[in-house]
């Protein structure tokens, strides 16, 4: 059997956003939660699962043609999802069109490479804690995430838990500026 990696496409935060997320996590007092380490915080776009080396190479080549405009996601709500038992940041606002278009393009490209992805509607979220049992009563300040690239990320099992490693990053196409304006 060929070597496989557990992969997903994600938005990876800049340092300022990562620090804001870490401060938020540290401000929440909740017992029994397993907090996501700051270096692992991300927004999943499309989960791929176990992918062999040949398929990974095909996917990398195929997504290189995807273009997207930079966009912002505003995470303004703390949510508790019972079934996966996670505490996460979500948004009360609709998914911005450029984000929805990026997710659709990634899903279509991955399907063309022979992989099946989740068919549920896309809900951007940032997992802050696992093994959560309730929604803490905490007021949060919105965190604006400016997305200017997407990444292919590997989920690696390590003795201290999971660690996410960016395998490759693709910058979005910057909007052109008309010098006459």
Query: What residues act catalytically?
Result: 42, 125
Quote the CA–CA distance of 117 and 63 in Å, as a whole number: 15
- 79, 90 contact by CB (below 8 A): yes
In this structure, the number of other CB atoms found within 10 A of the CB of residue 38 comes to 14
Residue 2 main-chain phi, psi, to 5 deg: -70, 155
Length of the chain equals: 181
- 130, 85 contact by CB (below 8 A): yes
Structure tokens at 170: 């693709």
The region, left, alpha or beta by phi > 0 then psi within -120 to 50, assigned to residue 138 is beta
Pairing of strands 4-11, 149-158: antiparallel
Could you tell me what percentage of the chain is helix, strand and coil, using 3-state DSSP and rounding each to the nearest 5? 25, 35, 40
């Amino acid at each position: 059997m060929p070597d496989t990696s557990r992969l997903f496409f994600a938005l990876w935060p800049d340092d300022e956003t990562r620090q804001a997320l870490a401060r938020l996590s540290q401000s929440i007092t909740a017992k029994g939660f397993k907090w996501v380490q700051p270096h692992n915080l991300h927004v999943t776009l499309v989960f791929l699962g176990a992918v062999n080396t040949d398929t990974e190479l095909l996917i990398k080549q195929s997504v290189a043609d995807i273009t997207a405009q930079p966009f912002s996601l505003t995470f303004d709500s703390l949510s508790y999802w019972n079934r996966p038992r996670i505490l996460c940041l979500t948004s009360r606002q609709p998914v911005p069109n450029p984000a929805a278009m990026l997710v659709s393009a990634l899903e279509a490209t991955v399907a063309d490479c022979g992989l099946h992805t989740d068919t549920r509607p896309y809900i951007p979220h940032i997992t802050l804690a696992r093994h959560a049992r309730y929604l803490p009563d905490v007021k949060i300040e919105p965190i604006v995430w400016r997305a200017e690239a997407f990444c292919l990320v590997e989920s690696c099992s390590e003795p201290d838990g999971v660690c996410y490693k960016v395998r490759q990053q693709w910058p979005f196409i910057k909007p052109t500026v008309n010098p006459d304006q």
